Amino acid sequence: MRSNLTTTALIAALIWGLGTLPAPAATPPSDSPDPGAAPTCAASRQGPVDKSDVPAGVDVVDCRLVGRVISDEDSGLSAPVPSPGETVSVEGLSVDGRSELTVAVDESGTITYPADHHADTGASQSVAVLAGLKTASVGPSECRQTAYRTTGWKVYGNFPWWVGDGARPAGLSTKQFRSVISRSASTITSSRNDCGLGDVVGATHSSRGSTTKEYGHRDHVNVIDFGPLPRKMAGLTTTWSVKHAGRNKVVESDIRLNRNGFAWTTSPGSSACRNRIDVQSVLTHELGHTFGLGHVSNRSYPRMTMSDVVEPCSSSARLLGKGDVRGLAALY
């Protein structure tokens, strides 16, 4: 954090809880079929809704879909339908590449699925690949590669986070988990890198204790926990944002690490490490999403924190690469 922004951060922290929209007015329940109902309200009444049953253009307020979980077969991801005016994005980090799902609902209640969630914010998608390609031929180095992507949202002020109470890998206490999260978040908010680059982030984070809230619900609590996730997904970040001058403003961001699908470690450099994923590396990557960074390709930029593939027994994502820092500099 930059110290001269303390006042700004404090003010932003104060309005954090006010920056969210009220829940939409409930539509009165109706037992009899409404002959005038739009034919597009085809979703089942209970359980997850298939994305193909809720095409772009459906009014999710009329169809009473706000809060219902939409499942997308293509990405293997799901997200709760946001309230009017909000956009929700899920970013997945796996062993074989990225998965992303974005669901946006405009002020009038109309749902869309921006294929590129950068496009619906008015913020330009920043891709700086040329410099990265030039240096790729001399071997991967996180201090020479300059590629980054931004998502279109950012944290204004402070990001308070809570530790979820879901079961964690054996040996990882709440205290340890909180300390790893704190280090990971500070890496983003202090632009920690080993390339000699200075701090570019005018935003902060703060630890707020434990919660029984769970990942993936729009409950105004930023939860970081372990729990079940789709196969191959090491970590997921679900971020809700609202329109704001410039980049969208983050109003909630939840992070989950896959409890059952992976073996985790806090010592990836240990000679005993076999096929274990570093908790801090994945958390730093996921918090990068929270603060507005998107993925870069692992094939071209394997040493970037925002590389889209997680590698066992690697700690390279713990510190930012030059591209990651440039991305943050573009945001903050």
Minimum distance between the CB of residue 81 and Zn ion, rounded to whole angstroms? 22
Count of residues engaged in binding Zn ion, rule: CB under 5 A: 2
- Please state, in angstroms and rounded to a whole number, the distance separating the CA atoms of residues 95 and 233: 7
Residue 86 lies near Zn ion (rule: CB under 5 A): no
Residue 63 or 304 having the CB closest to Zn ion:
304
Minimum distance between the CB of residue 238 and Zn ion, rounded to whole angstroms? 12
Scanning residues 101 to 140, which ones bind Zn ion (CB under 5 A)? none
- Please state, in angstroms and rounded to a whole number, the distance separating the CA atoms of residues 270 and 281: 15
Measured from each CB, the residue nearest to Zn ion is: 93
The secondary element (H helix, E strand) that includes residue 276 is strand 276-278
Residue 142 near residue 322 (C-beta atoms within 8 A) = yes
Minimum distance between the CB of residue 289 and Zn ion, rounded to whole angstroms? 6
Structure tokens at 84: 């009017």
Residue 251 near residue 240 (C-beta atoms within 8 A) = yes
Query: Which range in 20-28, 93-101, 136-144, 274-282 contacts Zn ion by CB under 5 A?
Result: 93-101
Cα-Cα-Cα-Cα dihedral sign, residues 219, 223, 228, 230: positive
Residue 49 or 324 having the CB closest to Zn ion:
324
Residue 91 lies near Zn ion (rule: CB under 5 A): yes
Query: Which range in 77-85, 87-95, 158-166, 188-196 contacts Zn ion by CB under 5 A?
Result: 87-95
Minimum distance between the CB of residue 234 and Zn ion, rounded to whole angstroms? 9
Give residue 75's region: left, alpha or beta (phi > 0; psi -120 to 50).
alpha
Residue 91 or 225 having the CB closest to Zn ion:
91
User: Among residues 236, 265, 221, 288, which one has the least CA distance to residue 90?
Assistant: 236
Minimum distance between the CB of residue 93 and Zn ion, rounded to whole angstroms? 4
Minimum distance between the CB of residue 53 and Zn ion, rounded to whole angstroms? 27
22 DSSP β-pair partners: none
What are the backbone dihedrals phi and psi of residue 249, each rounded to the nearest 5 degrees, phi first? -100, 125
Minimum distance between the CB of residue 100 and Zn ion, rounded to whole angstroms? 8
Query: Which range in 42-50, 60-68, 90-98, 106-114 contacts Zn ion by CB under 5 A?
Result: 90-98
Minimum distance between the CB of residue 42 and Zn ion, rounded to whole angstroms? 32
Residue 93 or 313 having the CB closest to Zn ion:
93
Query: Which range in 6-14, 89-97, 164-172, 251-259 contacts Zn ion by CB under 5 A?
Result: 89-97
* C-alpha of 24 from chain center: 24
- Please state, in angstroms and rounded to a whole number, the distance separating the CA atoms of residues 326 and 106: 31
Q: One-letter amino acid identity for 328?
A: L
Query: Which range in 4-12, 74-82, 88-96, 193-201 contacts Zn ion by CB under 5 A?
Result: 88-96
Residue 68 near residue 43 (C-beta atoms within 8 A) = yes
Q: 130 CB contacts (<8 Å, ≥6 apart)?
A: none
Residue 93 lies near Zn ion (rule: CB under 5 A): yes
Would you state the torsion angle of the CA atoms of residues 276, 279, 285, 289, taken in this order, to the nearest 10 degrees? 130
Residue 104 or 233 having the CB closest to Zn ion:
233
Residue 105 or 236 having the CB closest to Zn ion:
236
Q: Binding residues for Zn ion, per CB under 5 A? A: 91, 93
